[in-house]
A and B are shown apart, each in its own frame.
Chain A
Amino acid sequence: MTEVVQTPMAEPTKAGWFGDFGGRFAPEPLMPACLELEEAFRDAWADPVFHAEFEEVLHSFGGRPTPITHCKRLSEDLGITLLLKREDLAHTGSHKINNVIGQALLTKRMGKSKMIAETGAGQHGVASATAAALLGLECTVYMGEVDTQRQALNVFRMELLGATVHPVTSGSRTLKDAVNEAMRTWVSHVADTHYCLGSVMGPHPFPWMVREFQSILGTEAREQSQSMLDDVPDFVVACVGGGSNAAGMFSGFANSRSKLIGVEALGGAAIASGIPGVLHGMMSQILQDEEGQILEAHSISAGLDYPGIGPEHAHLASIGRAIYSTADDDEVLDALERLSNTEGIIPALEPSHALAWIIREAGRQIPKGSTVLLNMSGRGDKDVAQVREILQAKGRFQ
């Protein structure tokens, strides 16, 4: 099953393996679609015209390049130099736009007229609906019923953008089940429909393709940090659910001396608490019981509530090229509040995990004086109602 690979973050093997992780564990009706997609992606990604269009759309529509912000006050408090890659300033408020523009362009290139997508908190769903509106594709988003209630405004955003939101009532009615339902739907509609998966997960070529589409942010960040620091940062830190923002970021620094740190939610820590297994078409680290039934992830952040992790992250952890840690809900809230009131940036709960790790480890695992680049993968607007409720319950705000 394994072949020895690979420069870190190079192409996976022909069968889609990153070391011992990845592969293509899809039911036969979907296999031809996976093969077709791989061929279409290889062809597009080798075509300068496709690249030019991808970059042009992300520039004129998506708001790229996003800046890097030096957090001066927080840096001084922590005794480090903290830089934020501002994906929160990209269109739709997160890095998700990079991947969906790539996949929507690919959908058209494959001659398909429809996209389906899964979403947890709604960021990928909103981004997919946006890309579909831009390119004139029909879009259906699968979202766990629990999440449609928690993120009612995002449901409305998707509908306003012309997408259909399909509440998923099976299983735990959250992200994991939304992926299941999207895959089931894809089986029935594969002829005219592309499955726009939102993270570096699923059967090959998704983990690789999504990383490639997200690598635009890592490439930018490498150039920007080089010109700001005249060097690469000592640490590159990103939150990890499925792991698409981290994969995009790490890909810009994998061949450098930068230490790569992925931060998972404590209640969804596939690297720390998972074991190898197969879910959603991939071999990876998966939260599961002793029989192999998949367990639920639980954290404050719907975007990180996933019981698996992209296979390339499992590989990077196994070879020690990236280190994966966790942050708990309380540290995450503290980090969100601290960045808001020291730097004027309200982060999403997801990257607040990465920030929480930096705050906790500054002066410990992060030596004083280090340069640290954090991928600020999304803005906090979607989370403020939830955060307000929690902080009010703690007696913090009126």
Chain B
Amino acid sequence: MSRPRLEVRLRERVAAKQKLLIPYVMAGQSEDWLETVQAIADAGADAIEIGLPFSDPIMDGPVIQEAAVVSLERGTTPQSVLNDLGRLELDTPLVVMTYFNLVYRAGLDRFAGRLQEVGVTGCIIPDLSLEEFGAWEKAAERVGIDPVLLVAPSTSTERAKAICERSRGFLYAVGRMGVTGERDDASLEVDAVVAKVRPFTTLPVCVGVGVSTPEQAAAVVRVADGAIVGSALVRRLLEGGGPEGAATFIGELRSALDGVTLDG
């Protein structure tokens, strides 16, 4: 099925002065995970990250690791996830997030083709460095998938420029040095990392890693275009929150971001 192009949709929203909310769910984590995707789309997500579980997720903290284990134990495979996604009817761009070995094993062109067939329009591969990005960049471009790249607080200005030139969809700004996970402190390095990339790109800049609460999300989008919320949502789902719990939390995040827009 066809869904909106990731970058096109996000740019439209930013142009309309809307702050972007991009939640993350682990595919196959529970029987009702597709309903969860639907529920968070309805609750106001601008795009949704779909995690394909990998056995060795080095960029993920304990919550998303646990969700990956649960999902893999339920027999989730890249194939099963993509089949499921193909059946979903929604007008929200989907972004697959996974690790490079699953993509490489499937074959880059074949994987990109499968994403396109089931209506996924963006893809994040956190362990695929800029240096090794070329082959995937071409495979994705061929079928109209936006490959999203990461910038970190440790990234040099020179690297940030090169990353900005090649990222599509949006720019994933890592909000603090560390793996994914909830943080209760406010030690996000958002201002610096966003300021580092703004001179080099007009892409929407969305901040993830450590953004856990509506308050933090609101703080983040005072400088960034959007907030990515993973572990805080996944934890609620692991605790049995289900589609309703997810929708409630996404609703709270949406209100917080819309509050910033109104203030702005």
Do A and B form a real pair?
Answer: yes
- B186 lies within 8 A of chain A by Cβ: no
Partner of B105, one of A27, A32, A180, A292: A292
State which residues 279-293 of A face B: CB under 8 Å. 279-281, 286, 288, 290-293
Q: How far in angstroms is the closest Cβ of chain A from B44? A: 29
Q: Is the CB of B126 within 8 A of A294?
A: no
User: Which B residues are CB-close (under 8 A) to A294?
Assistant: 55-56, 101
Partner of A291, one of B102, B134, B149, B163: B102
Bound CA–CA A29/B129 (angstroms): 10
Q: A31-B129, A32-B155, A170-B65 are in contact. Are A25 and B100 (CB under 8 A)?
A: yes
* Chain B interface residue bracket vs A: 35 or more
B115-147, CB under 8 A of A: which get 1 and which 0? 000000000001111111011000000000000
Binding-face segment, A132-140, A184-192, A357-365: A184-192
- B259 lies within 8 A of chain A by Cβ: no
Partner of B159, one of A31, A188, A191, A292: A31
Partner of B156, one of A26, A32, A286: A32
- A28 lies within 8 A of chain B by Cβ: yes
- A277 lies within 8 A of chain B by Cβ: yes
User: Which B residues are CB-close (under 8 A) to A31?
Assistant: 129-131, 152, 154-155, 159
Q: How far in angstroms is the closest Cβ of chain B from A32? A: 4
User: Which B residues are CB-close (under 8 A) to A190?
Assistant: 154, 177
Q: Is the CB of B154 within 8 A of A29?
A: yes
Q: How far in angstroms is the closest Cβ of chain B from A199? A: 16
Q: Is the CB of B135 within 8 A of A278?
A: no
- B50 lies within 8 A of chain A by Cβ: no
Q: Is the CB of B179 within 8 A of A188?
A: yes
User: Which B residues are CB-close (under 8 A) to A15?
Assistant: 131-132
Q: How far in angstroms is the closest Cβ of chain B from A281? A: 7
Q: How far in angstroms is the closest Cβ of chain A from B165? A: 15
- B59 lies within 8 A of chain A by Cβ: yes
- B240 lies within 8 A of chain A by Cβ: no
Q: A29-B152, A32-B159, A170-B62 are in contact. Are A184 and B105 (CB under 8 A)?
A: no
User: Which A residues are CB-close (under 8 A) to B105?
Assistant: 277, 288, 290-292
Least CB separation from B153: chain A residue = A29
Q: Is the CB of B100 within 8 A of A278?
A: yes
Q: How far in angstroms is the closest Cβ of chain A from B192? A: 14
Q: A293-B55, A294-B55 are in contact. Are A28 and B152 (CB under 8 A)?
A: yes
State which residues 249-264 of B face A: CB under 8 Å. none
User: Which B residues are CB-close (under 8 A) to A46?
Assistant: none
State which residues 254-292 of A face B: CB under 8 Å. 276-281, 286, 288, 290-292
User: Which B residues are CB-close (under 8 A) to A32?
Assistant: 152, 154-156, 159
- B54 lies within 8 A of chain A by Cβ: yes
Which residue, A170, A187, A281, A291, has most C-beta atoms of chain B within 10 A?
A291
State which residues 6-37 of B face A: CB under 8 Å. none
- A114 lies within 8 A of chain B by Cβ: no
Q: Is the CB of B129 within 8 A of A25?
A: yes
A1-32, CB under 8 A of B: which get 1 and which 0? 10000000000000100000001111111111
User: Which B residues are CB-close (under 8 A) to A191?
Assistant: 154, 177
Q: Is the CB of B129 within 8 A of A28?
A: yes
Q: Is the CB of B101 within 8 A of A288?
A: yes
A167-200, CB under 8 A of B: which get 1 and which 0? 0001100001100100110011111000000000
Q: Is the CB of B129 within 8 A of A291?
A: no
Bound CA–CA A30/B129 (angstroms): 10
B50-79, CB under 8 A of A: which get 1 and which 0? 000011111111100100010010000111
Q: Is the CB of B127 within 8 A of A293?
A: no
- A105 lies within 8 A of chain B by Cβ: no
Partner of A27, one of B56, B69, B126: B126
Q: Is the CB of B104 within 8 A of A292?
A: yes
Q: How far in angstroms is the closest Cβ of chain A from B197? A: 12
Q: How far in angstroms is the closest Cβ of chain B from A296? A: 9
Q: Is the CB of B174 within 8 A of A28?
A: yes
Bound CA–CA A278/B132 (angstroms): 11
- A317 lies within 8 A of chain B by Cβ: no
- B151 lies within 8 A of chain A by Cβ: yes
Q: A25-B132, A277-B101 are in contact. Are A291 and B78 (CB under 8 A)?
A: yes
Bound CA–CA A80/B156 (angstroms): 57
Least CB separation from A29: chain B residue = B152
Bound CA–CA A74/B153 (angstroms): 58
User: Which B residues are CB-close (under 8 A) to A290?
Assistant: 105
Bound CA–CA A279/B151 (angstroms): 21
Which residue, B126, B130, B177, has most C-beta atoms of chain A within 10 A?
B177
Q: Is the CB of B58 within 8 A of A171?
A: no
User: Which B residues are CB-close (under 8 A) to A29?
Assistant: 150, 152-155, 174, 177-178
Bound CA–CA A209/B79 (angstroms): 38
- B106 lies within 8 A of chain A by Cβ: yes
Q: Is the CB of B101 within 8 A of A286?
A: yes
Least CB separation from B65: chain A residue = A170
User: Which B residues are CB-close (under 8 A) to A30?
Assistant: 154
Query: Which 4 A/B pairs are nearest by Cβ-Cβ distance?
Result: A292-B105, A29-B152, A188-B178, A28-B150
Apart from A33-B154, A176-B56, A278-B101, 12 more pairs, CB < 8 Å: A1-B134, A27-B59, A29-B174, A32-B155, A180-B57, A180-B58, A183-B58, A184-B61, A189-B177, A278-B100, A292-B101, A293-B102
> What are 25 A-B pairs at a CB distance below 8 A?
A1-B134, A27-B129, A28-B130, A28-B150, A29-B152, A31-B130, A32-B152, A32-B159, A170-B62, A184-B179, A187-B178, A187-B179, A188-B179, A190-B177, A277-B104, A278-B99, A278-B100, A280-B56, A286-B101, A290-B105, A291-B77, A291-B79, A292-B101, A292-B104, A294-B56
Interface, chain B (partner A; CB < 8 A): 54-62, 65, 69, 72, 77-79, 99-106, 126-132, 134-135, 149-156, 159, 163, 174, 177-179
